[in-house]
């Protein structure tokens, strides 16, 4: 199997696993991603729209649903009347932590059959690829 085909198959496998775990937690995959992103701390709406690669209006709909479920909340940014930041509620933090733990365990299980040195090589290769992609993406956005 060539690298492109392998990556496409791996992507489908990971997305399917992610969706199944999200469903078990009563979340859509996008809601699960939002909660996981917010585990790192509050984020601005513009930053989240950029992170999700969506228009602010689409993010507003996602946030409306998250707030309605009591998972996240928007609040004003001190010193900037027009800006809003998003934080997890206590319930959202619990949901995010539980989802993240389960999806991490499931994803780790995918590489468990590999020898330890192969797992480390896989991790370092992934880190290198994603770091290069972030650099290229950041350069193109300037």
The verdict on 45 and 32 lying in the same domain is: yes
Domain with 140, as residue range(s), is 114-142
Q: What is the pTM of this model?
A: 0.84
Our count of domains for the chain comes to 2
Give the pLDDT score at 55.
87
The verdict on 132 and 83 lying in the same domain is: no
* Surface-to-core class of residue 6, CB atoms within 10 Å of its CB (0-12 exposed, 13-18 middle, 19+ buried): exposed
End-to-end CA distance of the chain: 36
The verdict on 85 and 136 lying in the same domain is: no
Does 54 or 94 have the greater pLDDT score? 94
Give the pLDDT score at 81.
81
Q: Is pLDDT at 138 greater than 70 in this prediction?
A: no
Structure tokens at 52: 């999700």
What is the tens place of the pLDDT at every residue in 27-82?
Answer: 999 999 999 999 999 999 989 998 888 888 889 999 999 999 999 999 998 888 88
The verdict on 94 and 43 lying in the same domain is: yes
Alpha-carbon distance 51 to 33, whole Å?
Answer: 10
Q: Mean pLDDT of all residues in the chain? A: 91
């Amino acid at each position: 199997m060539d690298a492109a085909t392998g990556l496409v198959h791996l992507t489908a496998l990971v997305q399917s696993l992610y969706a199944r775990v999200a469903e078990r937690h009563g979340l859509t995959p996008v809601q699960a991603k939002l909660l996981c992103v917010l585990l790192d701390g509050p984020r601005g709406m513009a930053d989240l729209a950029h992170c999700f690669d969506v228009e602010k209006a689409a993010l507003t709909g996602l946030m409306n649903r998250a707030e309605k479920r009591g998972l996240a909340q928007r609040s004003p940014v001190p010193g900037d009347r027009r800006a809003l930041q998003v934080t997890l509620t206590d319930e959202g933090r619990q949901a995010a932590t539980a989802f993240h733990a389960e999806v991490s365990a499931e994803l780790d299980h995918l590489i468990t059959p590999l020898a330890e040195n192969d797992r480390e090589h896989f991790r370092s290769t992934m880190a290198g690829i994603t770091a290069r992609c972030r650099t290229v993406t950041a350069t193109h956005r300037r």
